[in-house]
Amino acid sequence: MADYPLADVTIVDLTRVLAGPYCTMLLADLGARVIKVERPGRGDDARHIGPFLNGHSAYFASVNRGKESIDLDFESENDRLLLDRLLDRADVLVENFKGGTLARLGYGWPVLHERWPRLVYAAISGFGHTGPYAERPAYDMIVQAMGGIMSITGPEQDDPSQTDSRAPTRVGTSVGDLTAGLFGAIGILSALHDRERTGEGRKVDVSMLDCQVAILENALARYFATGTAPGPLGARHPSITPFGAFAAADGHLVIAAGNDQLFVRLCEVLGSPALAADARFATNGARTEHESELKGALQARLAGATVAVWLDRLASVGVPCGPINDVAAVVHDPQVRARSMVLPLDDPELPGLHVAGNPVKMSGLPEPGFRRRAPRLGEHRVGLVAETNPDA
């Protein structure tokens, strides 16, 4: 593992379900050794969440690839001693219990920092370890709702004041969990960087709700600039036009003419150079103001050919465009394949299961043709007991 940038990092991983396991998966992909600590008997809740293949959770297998597993009972003195021995050797401890849980188990930050001053401790929770909601439970769905992203995702409303009549739309993946895992990894790596200078670990406290606010992007700016809360816009961008999904003869495609020059080229490809000369469409601001008229004019032309034809013509002149791929198309896309972004697991009990690759490509970083499988519950206990035995 000498070429993995995190080859010298050992992580004791108490996380369950998604946000925490995704965080440690990212670090494992970059070479960290991740020792996953699970409850005896049942293990991580995600082992019991579908889809299942041959009795194994494909969901669990995906986000826990390449980790080791040890089952530990926090009520057992012997097992707590074993946890302490693991922490003696660890650089990082990660957990995603509800706020306050780990402290009640006797491993609060003051205790951890006194006993293991170099240890970095990362806590990922629904609402963080401070503030009025600190001990409330959360799941992805809760923070997607409370953090605002659901209010700006979904079909465009004819009457934006009727917000309660529409069916709410969630982002189709658990961005509440995934972004917390990503920010958690950034916090851990920053604390490890700092430790090189100071010799001391830090506590990292990441809240899923905070992370949703951190990805509101220009919705926040729009609210403060206009005083009005933005609503969902279907597939179009709020302040760049034309930038969204359009219907062609046989389906939809996306076109992103992000500046005036690209808009002129788009109009030429569509055989409507006059559109580019129209004062209503002369600048991005004007185009955004007249978005629905422009969309009508563009779609009148786009209806004359298929998605595949338009993608060819647009790409040939450098107008950013693309198909709207379903997951089957994604996994067969030649670029996705060329970048090793969908790879098999080397798990004989889960034949055919592929998982996402590591998107952090790096010079010198090995790019394996498969991903190492997730551990069975407690699979590495015997080895870890022997490895940490002080009499050995």
Gyration radius of the chain's alpha carbons:
25
The footprint of its own copies on residues 64-103 (CB under 8 A) is: none
Smallest gap from Cβ 107 to its own copies, in A, equals 15
Select the span of 42-50, 82-90, 266-274, 292-300 touching its own copies (CB under 8 A). Answer: 42-50
Please report, to the nearest 10 degrees, the dihedral formed by the alpha carbons of residues 285, 289, 291, 294 taken in order.
-80
* 380 catalytic residue (yes or no): no
Q: Which is nearer to its own copies, 364 or 390 (CB)?
A: 364
Q: Which is nearer to its own copies, 78 or 228 (CB)?
A: 228
Residue 149 CB partners (closer than 8 Å, separation 6+): 171, 175, 212, 215, 216
CB 242 within 8 A of CB 255: yes
Distance of CA 339 to the CA centre of its chain: 18
The footprint of its own copies on residues 122-141 (CB under 8 A) is: 126-128, 130-133, 136-141
Instruction: Select which of 237, 290, 354, 380 is catalytic.
Output: 237
Size of the site for its own copies (CB under 8 A): 160
Q: Which amino acid is at 226?
A: T
Site for its own copies contains 256 (CB under 8 A): yes
CB 207 within 8 A of CB 125: yes
Collapsed DSSP state (helix, strand, coil) of residue 367:
coil
Q: Which pair of tokens denotes residue 322?
A: 């693309």
The footprint of its own copies on residues 334-353 (CB under 8 A) is: 334-336, 338-339, 341-342, 352-353
Q: Which is nearer to its own copies, 229 or 277 (CB)?
A: 229
Q: Where are the alpha helices (DSSP H) in 6-64?
A: 19-29, 58-63
The footprint of its own copies on residues 103-122 (CB under 8 A) is: 109, 113
Burial of residue 316 (number of CB atoms within 10 Å: 0-12, 13-18, 19+): exposed
Select the span of 72-80, 251-259, 294-302, 378-386 touching its own copies (CB under 8 A). Answer: 251-259
The footprint of its own copies on residues 154-193 (CB under 8 A) is: 154-155, 163-164, 167-175, 178-179, 182-183, 185-187, 189-193
Site for its own copies contains 34 (CB under 8 A): no
DSSP state of 168: P
Q: Which is nearer to its own copies, 172 or 199 (CB)?
A: 172
Q: Which residues are registered as beta bridge partners of 11?
A: 34, 92
Site for its own copies contains 226 (CB under 8 A): yes
Select the span of 70-78, 234-242, 298-306, 381-389 touching its own copies (CB under 8 A). Answer: 234-242
Catalytic residues: 237
